[in-house]
Amino acid sequence: MPSFIDIHCHLLPGLDDGPSGFETAASMLEMAAADGIAHIFTTPHFQPGGGAYSTNSKEKIISALSGFQSRVNTVVNLYYGADVRISYDITARIENGEAATLGGSEFFLLELTDHVLVPNVEGLVFNMRKRGFMPIITHPERYGYFLKDMAPLRLMRENGAMVQITALSVTGGFGRSARKRWRGRLEEGMVDFVATDAHNTKGRPPVLSAAYNEIKKEFGDKAAGKIFFENPHMILEKIASGPLKNNPS
Ligand SMILES: [Fe+2]
């Protein structure tokens, strides 16, 4: 079996609600490596608008990752990224280099709002794609508004966005309704990635194997392979060969 690639992980200490110190982050890395994860995108929250995570610019994340890499001893390959919260001007913030994409590729994590979906996200997605960026909508299975109405997510996907669900949602760690929702989306072929969205070693750990095994069992090798290996590998290839190469590792 190939190694896992985790495209969404709050591994860097001290930047957001991930690990508060180096030791926990190092334990998370050990845990990930033991689970068969060979590549991790470190994706701290970036939430423009003046809040606590509004200063997590690409530059700051790259510098934090470089500092972390110089201290830690690991076989896991680390790449920078960000968990980018949606805002009306987010495309401009990506274009001007303030918000980090995944390793400098055109792929980036797009986190939606918690309680009410901002209007016309599908239009925003359309514009992002037109400008050459590929938004990956993170954990739609955890938003109540999609439980009521899945149409906006379908529209986003029709306009070219990809979709990432969280490993714990697959295995039931976020409750039965989240689990039911991911199953529905998977059956529709709407799930492109599963990532850990890990924040620590206990409640939100960096583990992919359990979700992989469950998807393989329920939906077969081909579906599991696309979600866990083929699609994430596409991002690594973009970093290795693309003109936007800017990976500090
Ligand atoms: Fe996240």
Q: Which CATH class is domain 4-241?
A: alpha beta
Element (H, E) at 164: strand 162-166
Separation of CA 197 and ligand 1 centre (Å)? 5
User: Reduced to 3 states, what is the DSSP secondary structure of residue 103?
Assistant: coil
Separation of CA 201 and ligand 1 centre (Å)? 15
Separation of CA 158 and ligand 1 centre (Å)? 23
User: Reduced to 3 states, what is the DSSP secondary structure of residue 243?
Assistant: coil
- For residue 175, the model assigns a pLDDT of 75
- For residue 85, the model assigns a pLDDT of 96
- For residue 240, the model assigns a pLDDT of 72
pLDDT per position as a tens digit, 101-136: 999 999 999 999 989 998 899 999 999 999 999 999
Alpha helix (H) ranges present in the chain? 22-34, 58-71, 90-95, 121-130, 144-148, 151-158, 167-171, 176-187, 209-219, 221-225, 231-241
- For residue 177, the model assigns a pLDDT of 72
Separation of CA 223 and ligand 1 centre (Å)? 24
Separation of CA 35 and ligand 1 centre (Å)? 19
Please state the domain extents for the chain: 4-241
Instruction: Specify whether the backbone of 132 is left (phi greater than 0), alpha (psi in -120 to 50) or beta.
Output: left
pLDDT per position as a tens digit, 50-90: 888 999 999 999 999 999 999 999 999 999 999 999 998 99
Separation of CA 48 and ligand 1 centre (Å)? 15
Separation of CA 216 and ligand 1 centre (Å)? 24
Alpha helix (H) ranges present in 88-220? 90-95, 121-130, 144-148, 151-158, 167-171, 176-187, 209-219
Q: Sorting pLDDT into bands at 50, 70 and 90, what band is 241?
A: low
Residue length, the chain?
Answer: 249
Separation of CA 82 and ligand 1 centre (Å)? 8
Separation of CA 66 and ligand 1 centre (Å)? 20
* CA atoms within 13 Å, Cβ hemisphere of 61: 33
Residue in 108, 186, 121 with CA at minimum distance from that of residue 153: 121
Q: Note the Cα 82 to chain centre separation in Å.
A: 8
pLDDT per position as a tens digit, 3-58: 999 999 999 999 999 999 999 999 999 999 999 999 999 999 999 988 889 999 99
